[in-house]
Amino acid sequence: MTEESARLGEEGLVRQAANGDAEAFGDLYTRHMDAIYQYIFYKVGNEKRAEDLTEQVFLSAWEAIGEYELRGYPFSSWLYRIAHNAVVDYYRTEKDERPLDTIAFTLADESLGPEETVMKKRQVSRLLEALTHLSEEKQQLIILRFVEGLSHAQVAQILNKSEGACRVMQHRALTRLSDILGSDG
């Protein structure tokens, strides 16, 4: 990130990018690429597809940046919305099943010892399997809140729902996951 982009902050970068400044958009890309990639990877479970879709998200964002309006939400909320739409479009055209076991192995923490790694992979695998029993919207909410660490307000903006509706949906999703994981044993 350049000194100029650090001085401007995200709003300034967005304004400059909206005025056609490719370097400002590049700084926005650098700030958000890893998080958008991780979100997409979690949804598609394939590195190459996630890379392609992430590239598509940022290309779409660059093409539409002039229409972006600052409304008090982080720029990342807009990017997550574009990413969600890209994933939905991907699954409309590709009838693949998501390989959840590959996601579980990718999410393992490399700093853990062998026994801890196996336990962690099992836990992640169980959680991913339980997530498949939720609706697509509830899966997205859980991923955005607990994997990506977004606020209730950001998730509500991405899902185009009120914060209250998202909180209720989150409570129901967590209750359902708890039931599923509790019955697995």
| pLDDT higher than threshold 50 for residue 27 | yes
On average, the pLDDT of the chain sits at: 82
Q: What pLDDT does 116 receive?
A: 77
**Tokens, residue 182:** 């509790």
Q: Are residues 71 and 91 in the same domain?
A: yes
pTM for the whole thing? 0.65
Q: Are residues 75 and 28 in the same domain?
A: yes
pLDDT, position 157: 86
Which pLDDT band, with edges at 50, 70 and 90, does 184 fall under? Answer: low
- Average pLDDT of the residues in 83-87: 90
Could you tell me the residue range of the domain that residue 41 belongs to? Answer: 1-96
CATH number for the domain spanning 10: value is: 1.10.1740.10
pLDDT by residue (tens digit) across 88-104?
A: 888 888 754 444 444 44
Distances (CA, A) of 8 to 4, 22, 25, 131, 169: 6, 15, 12, 40, 37
Residues 130-149, mean pLDDT to the nearest whole number: 85
Query: 8 and 24 in one domain?
Result: yes
Using alpha carbons, list the distances in angstroms from residue 30 to 38, 74, 117, 133: 14, 15, 30, 34
pLDDT of residue 110: 60
Query: 108 and 159 share a domain?
Result: no
178 pLDDT more than 90: no
- What is the rounded average pLDDT of the residues 25-36? 94
Tell whether 91 and 103 lie within a shared domain.
no
Q: Do residue 148 and residue 90 come from a single domain?
A: no
CATH of residue 159's domain is: 1.10.10.10
Query: Does residue 7 sit in the same domain as residue 88?
Result: yes
Please give the tally of structural domains in the chain.
Answer: 3
